[in-house]
Amino acid sequence: MSIETTAIPARQPDPDKLNAFVGKMLGDLGAIATAALVIIGDKLGLYRALQKGEPLTSAELAERTGTAERYVREWLANQAASGYLEYDAATQRFSLPPEQGFMLGDEGSPLYVNGLFQLLQSMIVDEPAIAERFRTGKGFGWHEHDARLFEGCERFFRPGYNANLVNAWIPALEGVEQKLRKGAKVADVGCGLGASTIIMAQAYPNSLFHGFDYHAKSIGLARERAKAAGVGDRIVFEVASAKAIPRNDYDLISFFDCLHDMGDPVGAAQAVRRALAPDGTWMLVEPFANDRLEENLNPIGRIFYGCSTMLCTPGSLSQEVGVALGAQAGETRIRRIASDAGFTHFRRATETPFNIVYEVKL
């Protein structure tokens, strides 16, 4: 018996839609090709030299940065083609416009982006390992990633913390700033290299701080940075998981962009509940996300979903329970975690385009 098969005709693309997608894809490919050059420009001080405002030739930039002119010439051409630099054909000089400099040349800017490029570089390096997890469903721990992830993550988040943490986020929490000024006990959970902990310790000299992270190498660097910042005597950094926070009647416990990475977020929230003072506050900072997928299909969601695929979801799946919230969990799911852990007060205190700050209390 023979079975006749009918070939499925190929779907023909709409020419206008195809041309539009070709343009989009060319932009994406150009961005990928440029990413390594952004990292080089950051690492070798090329942006910092141009940030001073004087237009430079390739030879002048190479001389000021101690680099080879022929490489610098190609780098400048790519940066001008990318719209990151401006080129004056009459003088053959390149300049960094103040808007681009705000993101590429000024590490104190709240929109400084070079750390994100460094973070994304680590994701590319770890792609073979994550692709294998796609096949097996297993997790991939934070500590297993390329080492550039840890510094890149800190450099990406630190500008936002510098701009918002003391000026806007803590003041948005009921009564917390007054406690910190008077003298409070604070636990910063998932502190990484300690940027958030150090910022708070510098702003509130009467308070004592504990920073916890399960990654030992990050804790070691955090101790060094706290000492260099002059606050090492008021911060104790310890290697510990979120579920192992010691009971210490903390006035404030902070989680910065890390709850969604945890395998057992409810268990972590229960540990917070046990460790808080009766009138204490849990400051929970998460990446900005709406509850519905279609509401997150935008440029910021694109970045966060990419990071979530390569970093957050594998990290959670490598731990016990392995809930794998993902970086775009949304307020409803975060609120449910707090409620399941026994908290009765949950409020969106404030937000930025990149983060939502929740106030959680017993």
Per-residue pLDDT of 192-210, as tens digits, reads 999 999 999 999 999 999 9
Residue 43 lies in a domain: yes
CA triple 326-328-333, angle to 5 deg: 85
Identify the domain containing residue 58 by its residue range. 18-106
- Measured CA to CA, the distance from residue 122 to residue 83 in angstroms comes to 25
131-149 average pLDDT score: 97
- Measured CA to CA, the distance from residue 219 to residue 297 in angstroms comes to 35
pLDDT in tens, 267-311: 999 999 999 999 999 999 999 999 999 999 999 999 999 999 999
Check whether residue 294 and residue 196 sit in a common domain.
yes
Check whether residue 183 and residue 82 sit in a common domain.
no
Residue 294 lies in a domain: yes
Give exposure, 212-240, as e/b (b: 16+ Cβ within 10 Å).
bbbbeebbebbbebbeebebbebbebbeb
Residue 214 DSSP code: S
Considering its fold, how many domains does the chain have in total?
2
Helix, strand, or coil (residue 204) = coil
Check whether residue 206 and residue 330 sit in a common domain.
yes
Residue 255 DSSP code: E
Tokens 């401006």: give the residue.
86
Taking 60 as the threshold, does the pLDDT of residue 44 lie above it?
A: yes
Residue 156 lies in a domain: no
pLDDT band at 4; cut points 50, 70, 90: low
- Measured CA to CA, the distance from residue 161 to residue 183 in angstroms comes to 21
Check whether residue 356 and residue 237 sit in a common domain.
yes
pTM over 0.85, yes/no? yes
Structure tokens at 319: 């731990």
CATH number at residue 262: 3.40.50.150
Check whether residue 90 and residue 192 sit in a common domain.
no
Check whether residue 236 and residue 90 sit in a common domain.
no
Residue 348 DSSP code: E
53-62 average pLDDT score: 97
pLDDT at 304: 97
- Stated as kind and residue range, the H or E segment containing 97 is none
Residue 276 DSSP code: E
Residue 4 lies in a domain: no
pLDDT at 1: 45
Residue 141 lies in a domain: no
Give start and end residues of each alpha helix (H) in the chain. Answer: 15-43, 46-51, 58-65, 69-81, 98-104, 114-125, 127-136, 148-164, 176-182, 195-203, 216-228, 265-275, 299-307, 313-317, 331-340
As a whole-number percent, the residues of the chain with pLDDT over 90 amount to: 96
Residue 285 lies in a domain: yes
- Domain-terminating residue out of 106, 123, 138: 106
Residue in 39, 148, 186 with CA at minimum distance from that of residue 104? 39
- Domain-terminating residue out of 60, 82, 106: 106
Question: What are phi and psi for residue 282, nearest 5 degrees?
Answer: -100, 115
CATH number at residue 61: 1.10.10.10
- Measured CA to CA, the distance from residue 275 to residue 273 in angstroms comes to 6
Is residue 104 within 8 A of residue 155, CB to CB? The reply is: no
pLDDT in tens, 18-34: 999 999 999 999 999 99
Count the helix, strand and coil residues of the chain and give each as a percent rounded to the nearest 5.
55, 15, 30
Residue 91 lies in a domain: yes
pLDDT band at 8; cut points 50, 70, 90: low
* Cβ neighbours around 281 below 10 Å, total: 25
